[in-house]
Amino acid sequence: MRIGVLCSGGDAPGMNPCLRSIVRTACTCNDEIYGIQHGYEGLLNEEFFLGENGSHVMGIRSVSGLSKLGGTILHSSRSKRFQTPEGIRAAADILRKHKFDALLTIGGNGTLSGAIDLGKVWEGQIIGLPGTIDNDLFGTDYTIGFSTAVHTAVEAVDKLRDTAGSHDLMFFVEVMGRHCGDIALSTAIASGAEIACIPEAEESPERIVARLRKIKEAGKASVMAIVAEGDESGGAFAMQKILKEAGNPFDSRAVVLGHVLRGGSPTPEDRILASELGNFAVSSLLLGETGKMVGKIHGELVLTPLEQCVADHKKADTEQLRLLHIVAS
């Protein structure tokens, strides 16, 4: 079987160990695996990864040392061309021209939606792998990259807390997550922050300020608020301004962590998940599966139709907000 693999959309720590697992599983099963560079855009440009001995077929050694490497050696992109019917048909023709039997796509919502569109005009097998820091896909408890992003955010918030403590300050720390507050909520709980502002649970400025007054009366000198990028307030700086106008009793600063969360060496959790899902994706192809995403739910490796995975953005568990408010009291 000739399999192509690509990473698309925002990169996520763990994409490289996932590729390592895919390539080595395919090699073990005597399948031919081709790395497609720069996601769907690279597919349209016929950009293939050049492995050992100038060959486009990836060998066992072409993925050496990838367990601990952040980013993706295949490079990624957000292709505008692939979002048009002509672009999708052109991609299908290129897959036919190079005699691919199957395609593995690693990425988030946009990547998997692209895979669905491609599946409508291309007869080969397609399996998606959840690679995004956002953890906003149905069909898996965790996406590849989420653990590392939270780990990086917690490290940053811990450092900011030192300064907040020294200067009796409040920090608004913005983390990525366009449609899902999972990174913000998990970071808040793990770092001992007092407040999480997430798109799933909007709170009025007056309510937040009332909570901040209580926090001050309770004797806390520093406060950390973790703001999801997708929060309706418009991010950390906007939230800082809104709460100041509403009477925030704390002097404050705002920090945007942004793309820092997408980088760095993947955590062991992400490396293990990436290895398991990469292996499972190739095995699923060999069993004839197509149009599905691999994931892990309650410890079990599962396949879910792509349409179900991207039907909506999975939401953060707002019950965890209750936990946050209790443990941060």
Residues in contact with ligand F6P by CB under 6 A are 10, 78, 108, 132-134, 176-178, 229, 262
Q: How far is the CB of 290 from ligand F6P (least distance, A)?
A: 25
Q: Which of 11, 134, 182, 231 is catalytic?
A: 134
DSSP 264: S
Q: Which is nearer to ligand F6P, 133 or 294 (CB)?
A: 133
Q: CB of 261: closest distance to ligand F6P in angstroms?
A: 7
What is the smallest separation between the CB atom of 259 and ligand F6P, expressed in angstroms?
Answer: 6
Residue 91 CB, shortest distance to ligand F6P, in Å, is 20
Question: With respect to ligand F6P, which residue has the nearer C-beta, 39 or 278?
Answer: 39
Compare residues 51 and 107 and give the one whose CB is closer to ligand F6P.
107
CB of 157 or CB of 282, closer to ligand F6P: 157
Is residue 199 within 8 Å of residue 232, measured between CB atoms? Answer: yes
Which one, 51 or 181, has the nearer CB to ligand F6P? 181
**From the CB of 79, what's the least distance to ligand F6P, in Å?**
12
d(CA 232, CA 218): 29
Tell me how far apart the alpha carbons of residues 99 and 93 are, in angstroms, rounded to a whole number. Answer: 10
Is 83 buried (19+), middle (13-18) or exposed (0-12) by CB count in 10 A? middle
Decide whether 78 or 98 has the Cβ nearer to ligand F6P.
78
Three-state DSSP at 276 gives helix
The DSSP call for residue 47 is: -
For 158-209, the DSSP string reads HHHHHHHHHHT-EEEEEE--SS--HHHHHHHHHHT-SEEEBTTB---HHHHH
Q: How far is the CB of 310 from ligand F6P (least distance, A)?
A: 12
Number of C-alpha atoms within 13 angstroms, CB side, residue 193? 31
Instruction: Output the CA angle 27-30-31, nearest 5 degrees.
Output: 80
The alpha helices in the chain, defined as continuous H runs, are 15-28, 39-44, 85-97, 109-121, 146-167, 182-191, 205-217, 236-245, 268-286, 306-309, 319-327
292-297/300-305 β-pairing: antiparallel
Residue 134 catalytic?
yes
Residues classed as catalytic: 134
